[in-house]
């Protein structure tokens, strides 16, 4: 093992402590930062994630409410509920847990959330703000990855960053954030012809595919920084990422583990976004 570990769990703990301090400052001004989470249907993974989000919020002084609705809820009913939360000045952040039932148009639902309360950063207005370098909410996962790079003092200027995955939630915003720090960015995806040829050139690789062993040791330049966004389960039923951790950590300079890497950072950045929504509303 040659790579140093970027400890997302420890960094997230530090960020949560900062959030707690700032929520206390807001409370001293009579403002209670508040997050409303909506979950529709009974997807077991979503039930776990939303529970984490509520607990994380409570621990850092944010008020969080979870509203759960049956999968039979109509889209119009959901949109009406979002509008009510948009108009409630006591609510600073609104998060609709994905996936939504198939009869709903997720993008339409997300775009009903007021951009100033869109703490997931999924609204087109926030995606556009990131694209043109204006203030807005950044999606939590790529934002957490940027914080991890910052934590090791990594200067992205002129470096080649390769992002594997082009989702609206991770890959695309990740590429924009890296570009914003003056990296040369390549986005690879399922139609990329020679992934290995790309990743071998990379000073930084972000793997965000959702498939095990997408990145193996033979694909990594010695000393590269490897960030693993994947959340998969292996044959033993254990949580693992997109990166072959054992192999790649023999070659890379820095690597994020799964669990204990990007996951805790994603959770922490939601708290930061919610707090910032409340701070912006207050100022
Ligand atoms: N489902 C899986 N990840 C997320 C997320 O970050 N936000 C929302 N709203 N739903 C999700």
Pick among 3.30.930.10, 3.40.50.720, 3.30.870.10, 3.40.50.11540: CATH of 139-263:
3.40.50.720
pTM for this predicted structure: 0.97
Q: Please state at what angle helix 8-28 crosses helix 262-282, rounded to 10 degrees.
A: 20
Report how far residue 227's alpha carbon sits from residue 242's, in angstroms, rounded to the nearest whole number: 9
Helices (H), the chain: 8-28, 44-59, 75-86, 106-110, 124-132, 140-151, 171-180, 195-199, 245-248, 262-282
Look at the chain and count its residues. Answer: 283
- With the most atoms of ligand 1 within 8 angstroms of its CB, the residue from 46, 98, 106 to mutate is 98
Q: Is omega for the bond preceding 259 within 30 degrees of 0, making it cis?
A: yes
73 pLDDT more than 90: yes
What confidence category does residue 138 fall into, taking pLDDT thresholds of 50, 70 and 90? very high
Whether complex ipTM tops 0.90:
yes
> Which residues are catalytically annotated?
53, 97, 120
Rounded distance from Cα 120 to ligand 1 centre (Å): 8
Does domain 33-114 fall under CATH 3.40.50.10860? My reply is yes
In tens, the pLDDT along 107-125 reads: 999 999 999 999 999 999 9
Q: Which two tokens stand for residue 216?
A: 């193996």
Helix axes 262-282, 140-151, angle to 10 degrees: 110
Kindly report, as residue ranges, where domains of CATH 3.40.50.10860 are found in the chain.
33-114
Q: Which of 158, 191, 163, 193 is nearest to 175 (CA)?
A: 163
The contacts of residue 73 (CB under 8 Å, 6+ apart) are 40, 101
pLDDT of residue 39: 98
Q: Among 229, 256, 257, which Cα is nearest to 242's?
A: 229
Alpha carbon distance 1, 90 (integer Å): 50
Q: 72: exposed, middle or buried (C-beta count within 10 Å: 0-12, 13-18, 19+)? A: exposed
Residue 1: pLDDT above 80? no
Atom of ligand 1 nearest to the CA of 266: 6
Question: Which regions of the chain carry the CATH code 3.40.50.720?
Answer: 139-263
Per-residue pLDDT reduced to its tens digit, 196-222: 999 999 999 999 999 999 999 999 999
| Per-residue pLDDT, 283 | 85
Quickly count: other Cβ atoms within 10 Å of residue 31's Cβ: 16
């Amino acid at each position: 093992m040659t790579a140093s570990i970027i400890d997302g769990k420890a960094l997230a703990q530090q960020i949560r402590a900062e959030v707690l301090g700032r929520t206390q400052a807001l409370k001293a001004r009579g403002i209670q930062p508040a997050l409303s989470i909506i979950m529709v249907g009974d997807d077991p993974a979503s039930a776990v994630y939303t529970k984490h989000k509520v607990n994380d919020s409570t621990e850092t002084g944010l008020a969080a409410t979870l509203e759960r609705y049956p999968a039979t809820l109509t889209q119009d009913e959901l949109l009406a509920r979002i509008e009510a939360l948009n108009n409630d000045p006591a609510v600073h952040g609104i998060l609709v847990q994905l996936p939504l039932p198939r009869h709903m148009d997720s993008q339409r639902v997300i775009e009903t959330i007021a951009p100033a309360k869109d703490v997931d950063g999924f609204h087109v207005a926030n995606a556009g703000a990131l694209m043109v370098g204006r203030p807005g909410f950044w999606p939590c996962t790529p934002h957490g990855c940027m914080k991890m790079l910052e934590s090791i003092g990594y200067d992205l200027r002129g470096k080649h960053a390769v992002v594997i995955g082009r989702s609206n939630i991770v890959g695309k915003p990740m590429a924009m954030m890296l570009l914003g720090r003056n990296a040369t960015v390549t986005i690879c995806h399922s139609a990329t012809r020679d992934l290995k040829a790309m990743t071998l050139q990379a000073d930084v690789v972000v793997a965000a595919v959702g498939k095990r062993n997408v990145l193996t040791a033979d694909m990594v330049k010695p000393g590269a920084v490897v960030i693993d966004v994947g959340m998969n389960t292996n044959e033993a039923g254990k949580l693992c990422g997109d990166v072959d951790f054992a192999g790649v950590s023999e070659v890379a300079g820095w690597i994020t583990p799964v669990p204990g890497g990007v996951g805790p950072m994603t959770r922490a950045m939601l708290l930061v976004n919610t707090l910032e929504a409340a701070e912006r509303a207050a100022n």
